[in-house]
Structure 1
Amino acid sequence: MASIFFISFFFALVVKISLPISTIASKNVSASAVFAFGDSTLDGGNNNHIKTLFRGDHLPYGRDLPQHMATGRFSNGMLSTDYIVQFLGLKDLLPPYLNPNLSDHDLLTGVTFASGGSGLDKQTIEATSAMDLMSQFKLFEDVLKRLNKSVGEVKTRNLIKKAVFVVGVGTNDMLFNAYLFPTRLIKYANNVYGYHDLLLKNLAYFIQKLYGRGARRIIVTGLPPMGCLPLMVTINSFLPGPNWLKRLCNPKQNQQCEAYNTKLSSKVHSLEATLKGFEETMKGCCGTGQWEMGPVCNVLDLTCVNASKFLFWDAMHPTQSGYWFLAQYGIQNVLPYVTS
């Protein structure tokens, strides 16, 4: 089963359970690697190597890093994922994949594919020229190819299974398409909640893509209270209304972000329930699982003890559990169309 967690951006509220850092640190926490996808909150410097105005490759960005140099991180120092890899004992900083000096050895403990200005809506990408999530996913597939070549498919598969995947995106979509230039909302009759559904649909699709490549430990961050972001406070202070010329949070925008996070939490629960994986997907339960089927799969062959952990019963056909998932897909996605 995939473990998918939702984290509220500022308050670190995990869907399943909320633990203080001291409690988390006391647990036996381990991971093989960390792979990050999303926007500037997770970009370790990928935007340094693409054509976009959204860059953090100049001071004062990075001034509080050990070398006091701008690395492309949109911060004065480290990002949350940098702290995570340090805590896990993997490396000091999570490097950007587009760094030309990145070695295959660096890939073993993870990289970030995130791009400042990225989003879930193609209209956001058109405005920022950042890498969208599917472009980031293609880079991840490149990593899989490099790892398969350098350490082999088995080690790569085990590494990915034990890795942590962090996905943080959505803020730019709301910023550009709902608040700064709300032309996108015309399609939704100026209903920002309808726009939420589009974003979450695209996010769910991306998570399913990650799952299909072996990701099982996935952390998804939500929106911050955008009405309190300094930029939004400034913009709102110049708009006619109760906050005119006042530096105050916009409660309506905060409420909209909270509503998005509530939907995201529900979506995460739904995905976690449906993305139940099998421990073995490359061979069948019968015999060696590599070629036996039909008459060759018989009582003389040894079979696995727990077939529910296998996707295939023989080298060609699914187990009962495999068929159950096929049936569930048909019930949810096909029957409604053919019976309506």
Structure 2
Amino acid sequence: MDTSNHIRLRRLHLGPRQQQPPLHHLPLRPPPYGIDFPGRVPSGRFSDGKLATDFLVSQLGIKELLPAYLDPALTDRDLLTGASFASAGTGLDDLTASEANVLTLNAQLRNFMQALQRMRSIAGQQEADRVVENALFMVAAGTNDMLYNFYGLPLRRTYSLSGYQDLLLQNLENVIRTLHSTGARRVAVVGLPPIGCMPVSVTLGSLVPSFHMLQRVCVDQQNSDSEAYNAKLKALTSRLQATLPGSRVVYVDVYTPIMDMVISPAAFGLEKTTEGCCGLGSVEMGPLCNALAPKCPDPSKYLFWDAAHPTQSTYLFLANKFRQELLPSLLV
């Protein structure tokens, strides 16, 4: 969902403006990131090309790409027609963001509040509030929390699995209620993918004797954990829609379509589903996915671009599914 805010955030951390390099000198994720993006250049997106939100705004005839809110080139029109406030590497748990040195969800909310004030100064309060009321808000977080804070480091093992999931969902509920208080009425909340089938999880699982030693297969327990979380999330979205006046809050299932791709790759035109296209497809992402790393000849044949992020073709499939199955109910 982050269309380059994490890069703009690095600029803010560099110190006084006079000490900063020009923005175009800051790396927007090195190649081969962006090889299928318009112009075949890195854009700050963790993929070979566009993200699902880019496809959605394009398919709706709004604009070609969803810009990052922190992009200094963001125009007034860009803001009034939609922007990304996401921060790659963050989560529903502030600890996740602090470990990755990225924006917390609350910081993203503060940015949105600032954006709302700017919108009101541009178009007037009545028009700005109308834009917010009719806008679609998409919230996607939780994977990094589980992947790094619970399974990885693990910094949150003082919680039981269920207890940590409840903590994440309480934080998510607070975010949605805050958005509602600003006038947001259409909210789509993305569930967890099958985390156990992400290339990085498959790789780490192959090293653990209790999982599948030296076998590249999904980690079943992590997938079961994702399903348990998603069941709670689905119940939460139903409860919020019932209790927040005038709201439409929907659960977006990405677990099922991604799992379908893993199980039946040929049906989706895929050849590799538990390996990334970049590098050896096992752990490469971020700085490890670079110009020196080998790359698969055709990313569209892969479910994942790097060890954790989908390819452009996967994002397109998910965007189409959302537009066909859920978007009509949000636009009523």
TM range (shorter): 0.5 to 0.7
Higher helix share: 2
Q: Deviations along 1:183-221, whole A, 9 cap, x unmatched?
A: 3122x2xx2111100000000000000001111110000
TM-score, normalised to structure 2's length? 0.68
Instruction: Supply the distance in 2 between the matched residues of 1:168 and 1:140 (Cα, whole angstroms).
Output: 16
SS in 2 for 1:141: helix
Residue in structure 2 matched with residue 44 of structure 1 by the alignment: 3
The 5-angstrom pairing of residues 192-211 of structure 1 reads 192-211=161-180
Instruction: Supply the distance in 2 between the matched residues of 1:88 and 1:141 (Cα, whole angstroms).
Output: 25
Q: CA deviation at 1:242?
A: 4.4
Instruction: Supply the distance in 1 between the matched residues of 2:89 and 2:148 (Cα, whole angstroms).
Output: 10
Q: Could you tell me which amino acid in structure 1 is paired with residue 112 of structure 2? A: F
Q: Could you tell me which amino acid in structure 2 is paired with residue 80 of structure 1? A: A
Instruction: Supply the distance in 2 between the matched residues of 1:268 and 1:234 (Cα, whole angstroms).
Output: 33
Residue in structure 1 matched with residue 102 of structure 2 by the alignment: 130
Q: Deviations along 1:80-127, whole A, 9 cap, x unmatched?
A: 000110111100000001101111121111000101101111211121
Q: CA deviation at 1:57?
A: 2.4
Q: Deviations along 1:203-247, whole A, 9 cap, x unmatched?
A: 000000000111111000010100000000000111122400110
Point out where structure 1 has 5 or more consecutive residues left out of the alignment.
1-41, 279-340
Out of 209, 214, 236, the position equivalent to 1:240 is: 209
Q: CA deviation at 1:171?
A: 0.5
Q: Could you tell me which amino acid in structure 1 is paired with residue 95 of structure 2? A: Q
Instruction: Supply the distance in 2 between the matched residues of 1:122 and 1:48 (Cα, whole angstroms).
Output: 19
Instruction: Supply the distance in 1 between the matched residues of 2:145 and 2:84 (Cα, whole angstroms).
Output: 20
Q: Is 1:83 paired with 2:55?
A: yes
Out of 138, 162, 173, the position equivalent to 2:145 is: 173
Pick closer, same or farther for the CA change 1:90–1:246 going to 2, 3 Å. same
Instruction: Supply the distance in 1 between the matched residues of 2:176 and 2:28 (Cα, whole angstroms).
Output: 27
Deviating 4+ runs (over 4 angstroms):
none
Using the TM superposition, name which of 236-245 and 216-225 deviates more: 236-245
Instruction: Supply the distance in 2 between the matched residues of 1:170 and 1:56 (Cα, whole angstroms).
Output: 24
Tell whether the 8 Å contact from 1:45 to 1:57 is kept in structure 2 after alignment: no
Greater C-alpha Rg: 1
Residue in structure 2 matched with residue 266 of structure 1 by the alignment: 235
Q: Is 1:224 paired with 2:183?
A: no
Residue in structure 1 matched with residue 222 of structure 2 by the alignment: 253
Instruction: Supply the distance in 2 between the matched residues of 1:136 and 1:193 (Cα, whole angstroms).
Output: 26
Instruction: Supply the distance in 2 between the matched residues of 1:277 and 1:243 (Cα, whole angstroms).
Output: 48
Matched residue pairs, number? Answer: 232
Instruction: Supply the distance in 1 between the matched residues of 2:176 and 2:63 (Cα, whole angstroms).
Output: 25
Give the alignment's Cα RMSD to 1 decimal: 1.4
Residue in structure 1 matched with residue 121 of structure 2 by the alignment: 149
TM-score, normalised to structure 1's length? 0.66
Residue in structure 1 matched with residue 39 of structure 2 by the alignment: 67
Q: Is 1:97 paired with 2:97?
A: no
Q: CA deviation at 1:56?
A: 5.3
Q: CA deviation at 1:260?
A: 0.1
Q: Could you tell me which amino acid in structure 1 is paired with residue 167 of structure 2? A: L
SS in 2 for 1:165: strand
Q: Deviations along 1:254-289, whole A, 9 cap, x unmatched?
A: 0000000000000111111110149xxxxxxxxxxx
